[in-house]
Structures are given as structure tokens and as C-alpha cells.
Amino acid sequence: MNSSLTVKNLRTYFFVDEGIVKAVDGVDLTVGEAETVGVIGESGCGKSVMARSLLRLVVPPGEIVDGSAVLRRKDGSQVDIFSAPPSAEMLREIRGNEMSMVFQEPMTAFSPVHTVGFQISEMVAAHSRMSRKENREYVIDLLRRVGISNPAQRYDEYTYQLSGGMRQRAMIAMAISCSPKIIIADEPTTALDVTIQAQILDLMKELQRQNNMALVYITHDLGLVAENVDRVYVMYLGRVVEVGATRDIFVNPLHPYTQKLLQAVPRLAERQERLAAIEGTVPSALNPPAQCPFFSRCDKAMPGTCDRAIPALTTQAGREVRCFLYSQEQEATNDWQF
Amino acid sequence: MTWSYLLKRLAMFVAVVLLAITVNFIVPRLAPGDPTAAVLEQLLSRGQQVEGSQDIVAAYRARFGLDEPILLQYGRYLLNTARFDLGSSISYFPQKVESAIVSALPWTIGLLAVATVISFGLGSLLGALIAWPGSPRFLKSLSPALMVLSAIPYYLLALIILYLLAIWTGWFPLGGAYSQIPQRFDPSTLWDLAYHAFLPALSIVLAGVGFWALGMRGAMINVLGEDYLTLAEAKGLPKGRIFFAYAVRNAMLPQVTSLAIALGTAASGSVLVEVAFNYPGIGYLLYNALRSSDYFLIQGVAFFLVLTVALSVLILDLIYPLLDPRIQRR
């Protein structure tokens, strides 16, 4: 498969007074052309930091300390996003144009003092040559395409004048405005109510088909993943613990964490007294010990093995999993000491 | 902008001014006794005999209309104030209060307003740059210096500047606003005015720049954490555009509020600068009025200051919806 984006060994650390928070610690991610990929995990597992790292949007004290992200650009050339200096013109050209982002909360992601239309037009103007009038017409047409009624009027309105669903539609219109190859959607439906969620996801699917884009959903919504995603990355404490086709993962999860995550989904068919929850909390990513990250909460943990080293991500039954239950292979020691 | 918004703001302006005038009217009348009697008693206590003192008091009360019902006095007072008839100055008699204010006004506006605006612009830009992650390192090291500057009282700063640049080096004049009273506007007159205005302006700018920079820095740091800045960056906009159109634009809102208040209070706030530099503005006028217990002049200047604050807040209210579209809905 021809991949649009290949990320290898991404490490994003936050250098705080108390030490180093290893928010993303060695993540490999591949996004095929027009593929839909899901990254799931609990809050604090590093998925949002990973998403922002892909566009080099991490700000100090955060820093990408290692890894490469090779993007296939529209003209077919390949570039490593992580190797460019922070102020590189190439990064500016890629952002929005080749890879764009849909944010979780459009109310705060749009500037309150600029009209919605202005904010979209501005992005179009940054990446193309259009006259003012053409630009406006183009954006109004985009707003129409994402299902905003009366787009010519909406163009001149501010975010506080739009409803939540409308704002997220405008955000999506912005994301597709430069026909990027990849859209990264960071919890795109979390701020919306359920009926709107379905509409937004259908819209994204439809636009993906029309524009032949790859979509990366960053989410904790397993329902979204089950229905919309080709391949799933399960993240835990800055690492990918299981990767596979959505169907495989949902039918036969291998990693104990994935199993527990799926058990935690409430089912209407079964009468449950209490919702299943994963005991304990995600441990801190601040100076983590060299042991399986899930060790503290895992009921299949093997003392003497799981607390001695970090398991490597190995191929098992058509997917990759990071667990000593399936392979004794250990992750190469991380030589990133500071 | 809607008509109801405009009308509401105008009504607010009128209400504030009316209230201030009323306070201005009531407070002197709360004092026991009356001014004429007080003067007479002073004379009596020094052992001087005043024939028919009761008659004198009554005559003066009639002369100033103080024997009339209080409401009638109030109405007359309102009417006079509305016509900008603020009475006669005692120390500059027979000059009218309003003409004293009008002749001092251009100096104050020319010096204080301009210096405040320069200070605001410079300080805001500096503060924004200090907070901005992409700006050069030497700018960040300015922060403590600005903090010190904002802590030094402006009159002290004025004295230091006066000593360094006028007395010690002799580069600038010690005070005054002109070498000779300007007759007409030609380049040499303007140069002379600027030459005299430079030091007072410098002390106001320096004293204010720290305040504005620190305020802006705080506002910027808040804005920098906002999602819309991340989105602006994710859109692939050039750095400069993100800085001005998103970061500064959003951080400016509280600064503009402070500017309106600062402009309104500039005249009273910088009294001592005008005094230190012998600059013939409103502040200097107020200082002299206080020294010579010129009640009518003090009252007139107080009224004028209230008027400027109310006016600048009104102007701010009118331009605020342009800066922040969310305002007029509330």
C-alpha cells in the first residue's frame, strides 16, 4: 500500500520542573492513501500530543526529541516533517494545505473576533492565488458543501452566532478547503450531541470519498472507531500497545488493555448492575519506570517478567501487540537520557 | 451597531455627567455655614470690627443667589453648566473659569494625550513581543527593567530625567512649553514646541510603558494558550500574521479599556509632571487653583475631568463593538 504518512519512533517529551513527561514515547504510525485510521486510548495516553506533533504544533516545554514523519506531498515528493527547522517555510506550506486538522471544540478553536468566513478565506489565501471575490465565492461554496444553510450570510457571522454543529461543519469546511491529503481529527465529535455526531461523521465520510483523503481520528469513542475506521491504534501511556484491522481488534482483542477497554463499553442487551471499569488510573508519564506500562492495572500481569522490562511491539496473528503474554521480545532500551 | 446600543450608551454618558455635576453642586453646600460668614468670622477672630456683619452676609447671599430655594439654585447651576458658564476664577479674577481651562487644554492634549498614546502603543507592542515565544531573547530580558520602570512614580522619574538631561547635560530646557509665546505655526515654532515637550513627554512615556507592557504581556500569555492560536498555526499562516491578527488582536481588548480610562485621567494623573516641568496645562492649572484655594476653578477643572473620563468611556463604548463583536449582544 502506498502510504501518505509514515511516522517512525515519535517521541514527544515535556521538560517540566519535576522531570521529563514522556507523553509520546516511541510511536510508529502509518496512514495509507485515503485510509481511515483511528487512534484510541484513555485521556492522558498521549494521543492528542501525538496528533499535534504530526503538524509540529507542540509548544515548549514540549518538544519532539526523536523520530521521523515522512509525508508524501501532493506533487509526489517525500519530506520528513520532523527534520525541518521550526520556522521552515516548508512546514507552513504543509500545514493546512497537505495536512489539516479538525479540533475538538470549534467554539474555542475559532477566534472570537473574526468572522467564520474570514478565518476560512484566510487559510485558502495562504495556500493559493485567488482574487478576493473568487476566494469568497469558493468559501461560500465550501460552507454549502458541508451543509450550512444560507452560507452567504453565515460567511459574515461570528462563531458565537453559530450552533455547535454548525461550528463543527465550518471547521470541517476549513479543514478540506485546500484539499489536503490527510485530515487529522482530534476528537471531532466530543463536543457535539449524539444526533449531530452521526451527521458530522457521515459528512466526513462523504467528503473523504469525494476528495480521496486519508483521515486520522484521534478519539476515545469506541463506537466512532467501530463504524468509521479501517485500522486501529490502541495507545496507552505514550505507547502503541496494539495495532490491527478494526474488525480483528473488536472481535479478538489480544492486549489485556484492549480487552478491558472493550469490556468497559456498556451494552443495552445485557442488564448490568454496574458499568465495567478498568481498575486504577493511568500512571503518570513523568519519569516512568522500565516496565510494561499497563503492569499496575493488568490482571494477567506476570510479576518477575512484566515489571522487569518493556515488551516490544511484535506481530501476532495478523496484527501487532505489545505484551509479554505473546512474545518475550523486549523493547530496545531507550537511550534518550537527559 | 444598533440604534438601541447607541442610545443606551449616550443615555449612560448623560447620566454619569449629570450625577457628577450634582455631586459637584451638593458637596460644597454640605459644609456648615456659608463662605461669606466664614470670611467674616475670620476677620472677627483677628479682633477686627466689621459693621453690620449680618447685613453683609445677607447681601452676599442675595448676590450669589444663596438665599433662593435649593432647587432653584440647582436649576440655575445646571443651566449655567450646560452653557459652560463655570463662573469666575478667584485667583485670576476677572478671567472666567472656562476660558482658563480652554487656554490650558491644548497643552494638555498636545502633551499628555499624545504621550499616553505613544506609551500605550510602545508598551503594548513590547509586552506582546516579550510574551511571544518566537521573539529574540534580548526582548525577554527587558521584562525586569520594565517592571522596575512601572514601579517608579512618574514624578520621581520626571525629576531624574530633568536632572540628567536638562541640568547635568543641558541638552533640553528646564521647563515651560515654548521659548516665546507662539504667534503663528511655522516649522521653527513647531520645533520649539516639540523641543520643550520632549522631556515631559519622555517621562510620561517611560513611566507608562512598563505598565502597558506588563498588562499586555499578561493578556498575551492568556491568549497564547488558546486553541485559536494553535488552529491559526495549523492553518499554515505566516508567523507575523498569527502574531498580529490573532494574538495581539485578541489580547488588545483589555488594553483598550485601560487606554480609555488612562486618557480620561491623564490630565489629573499627570498633574505633577506638568508641575515639575512648569508646563501650562490643566494639571498645572489645577495645582495653582489648589494652592490659592480657588474654589470655582477647582470645581471647574473637576467638572472638566469628569467630562473627559465620561467622554472617553463613551468613545470606547462606541468603538468596542468593532473590536469585539460579542459586545453589542450583551
- The B residues from 248 to 307 touching A (CB cutoff 8 Å) are 249-250, 253
Supply the pLDDT for residue A101: 93
Q: Which residues of B touch A100 (CB under 8 A)?
A: 234-235
Q: What tens digit of pLDDT does each residue of B17-71 get?
A: 999 888 888 877 776 666 666 666 766 777 666 677 777 777 777 776 777 788 8
Supply the pLDDT for residue B33: 61
Q: Which residues of A touch B235 (CB under 8 A)?
A: 95-96, 100, 119, 122-123, 126, 174
C-alpha–C-alpha distance, residues A13 and A15, integer Å: 6
Nearest-by-Cβ selection for A111 from B134, B236, B250: B250
CB A41 within 8 A of CB A232: no
SS3 string of chain A? CCEEEEEEEEEEEEEECCEEEEEEEEEEEEEECCCEEEEECCCCCCHHHHHHHHCCCCCCCEEEEEEEEEEECCCCCEEEHHHCCCCCHHHHHHECCCEEEECCCHHHHCCCCCCHHHHHHHHHHHHCCCCHHHHHHHHHHHHHHCCCCCHHHHCCCCHHHCCHHHHHHHHHHHHHCCCCCEEEEECCCCCCCHHHHHHHHHHHHHHHHHHCCEEEEEECCHHHHHHHCCEEEEEECCEEEEEEEHHHHHHCCCCHHHHHHHHCCCCCCCCCCCCCCCCCCCCCCECCCCCCCCHHHCCCCCCCCCCCCCECCEEECCEEECCCCCCCCECCCCCCCC
- Is some CB atom of chain A closer than 8 A to the CB atom of B62? no
Tell me B329's DSSP state. Answer: G
Q: What tens digit of pLDDT does each residue of A128-172 get?
A: 999 999 999 999 999 998 989 999 999 999 999 999 889 999 999
> HSE-up of B74 (CA within 13 Å, CB side)?
13
Q: Which contiguous run of DSSP H or E holds residue B230?
A: helix B227-234
CB-based contacts of A63: which residues, under 8 Å, 6+ apart? Answer: A12, A13, A14, A15
* Greater pLDDT, A203 or B175: A203
Q: How far is A198 from chain B (nearest CA, A)?
A: 24
| Bridge partners for A231 per DSSP | A37, A245
A108/B238 touch (CB, cutoff 8 Å), yes or no: no
Residue B240 above 70 pLDDT? yes
- Is some CB atom of chain B closer than 8 A to the CB atom of A167? no
User: C-alpha cell of B34?
Assistant: 456659608
User: C-alpha cell of B83?
Assistant: 452653557
User: C-alpha cell of B160?
Assistant: 531624574
Supply the pLDDT for residue A280: 79
> For chain B, what is the mean pLDDT?
83
Supply the pLDDT for residue B119: 92
Q: Which residues of B touch A123 (CB under 8 A)?
A: 235-237
Spans in chain A with pLDDT lower than 70: 1, 272-273, 333-338
Q: What tens digit of pLDDT does each residue of B255-295 get?
A: 988 888 787 777 666 677 888 888 888 888 888 888 877 77
CB A112 within 8 A of CB A103: no
Q: How confident is the model at residue B154 (pLDDT cuts 50, 70, 90)?
A: confident
Q: How far is B298 from chain A (nearest CA, A)?
A: 43
- The A residues from 40 to 59 touching B (CB cutoff 8 Å) are 52, 55, 57, 59
Task: Classify the complex by whether its ipTM is higher than 0.90, answering yes or no.
Answer: no
User: C-alpha cell of B113?
Assistant: 494625550
Nearest-by-Cβ selection for A97 from B236, B241, B329: B236
- The B residues from 171 to 210 touching A (CB cutoff 8 Å) are none
Nearest-by-Cβ selection for B246 from A103, A111, A126: A111
CB-based contacts of B223: which residues, under 8 Å, 6+ apart? Answer: B229, B246, B247, B250, B251
CB-based contacts of A330: which residues, under 8 Å, 6+ apart? Answer: A309, A310, A311, A312
Span B86-110, mean pLDDT? 81
Q: Which residues of A touch B219 (CB under 8 A)?
A: none
Supply the pLDDT for residue B35: 61
- Is some CB atom of chain A closer than 8 A to the CB atom of B236? yes
Residue B208 above 70 pLDDT? yes
